[in-house]
Each structure stands twice: as C-alpha cells, then as structure tokens.
Amino acid sequence: MKIERARLAELCRAVAGARPYLAEPDGMDDWQTPRQLQATGGGDCEDATLADLLAAALHAWPGKPRFLVVGTYRGKGHAWARIGDYWADPTFGGYGYVSDTLWPHYRADWFYSHGADLKLGQAYVEEKPA
C-alpha cells in the first residue's frame, strides 16, 4: 500500500494539534505509555510520536516499516517518526520524503521499531507480505 503524502500531512496536523506539548525539565526525559499520555493529557515529542502518529500509521499503512527516530533537531534532543520512505514530526507538524532538504536540521542517532533498535547506518529489512 502506497503512502500518500496528503494523508501523511493530515495525520501530522491531527497529531500536532491533538494534545498540548508539555516540556520536561532539563536533564529529564520520561517516556510515557499511551495510557499515561491519555491520563496526563499531554506530552513531548516521543510521547506524541509513539502514542499517536505511529499508531495512526499502523492503521493507515499496514505492513510499512515504522520507526521512532531519536536524535537531535537544531542541536536539541528530539524524536520523530520514519514511515516507509517518509519522515514525520508531530511536534512541529512537519513531514516529507527522506531526501527533502529539511534533513540538514535533523540528526538521527537511533531507530526503534518492534523491539529492533538500530543505530544510524544499520540496515533494516522491510517485511513483505506472503
């Protein structure tokens, strides 16, 4: 199933506006489960990416690889999603193809998906339906 750029944009806008951004104190990074996020009513970048954007992507594009990406944006710690060949950032509502020019501001260090933690530069194998 092909990822449609317009649908990805719609999901990013919906997630970006769904919950208030709640910054954590310097030096602290508490990752919430979806249930905790529901209870607190807001969270930061990885909370929105995990609980809302990647969950929506699972339903919109079953079978496409989905990763939580952890790294930096403009030199500060950040998390966003990689869905197939697209990136999506629910914190800022941004999205695009992985070769887009926005990437110079992002630096990915880790990709997390279904228990497979990959350092930047490691390859992943996309599972193909039988």
**Domain-located, residue 80:** yes
pTM of the model: 0.72
Looking at the chain, the whole-number percentage of residues with pLDDT higher than 90 is 0
Indicate the helix (H) or strand (E) that contains 105.
Answer: none
What residues make up the domain containing 48?
5-20+32-119
Q: Which of these, 87, 82, 84, 83, lies nearest to 100 by C-alpha position?
A: 87
What would the pLDDT profile of 79-101 be if each residue is shown by its tens digit? 888 888 888 888 877 787 776 65
Flag whether 25 is in a domain.
Answer: no
Looking at every residue in the chain, the average pLDDT score rounds to 75
Question: 85 in a domain, yes or no?
Answer: yes
pLDDT tens for 38-77 read 788 888 888 877 777 777 787 788 778 888 888 888 888 8
In a domain, 130, yes or no: no
Cβ neighbours of residue 72 closer than 8 Å, sequence gap 6 or more: 78, 106, 107, 109
Supply the CATH number for residue 93's domain.
Answer: 3.10.620.30
Count up the domains in the chain and report the number.
1
Higher per-residue confidence, 130 vs 5: 5
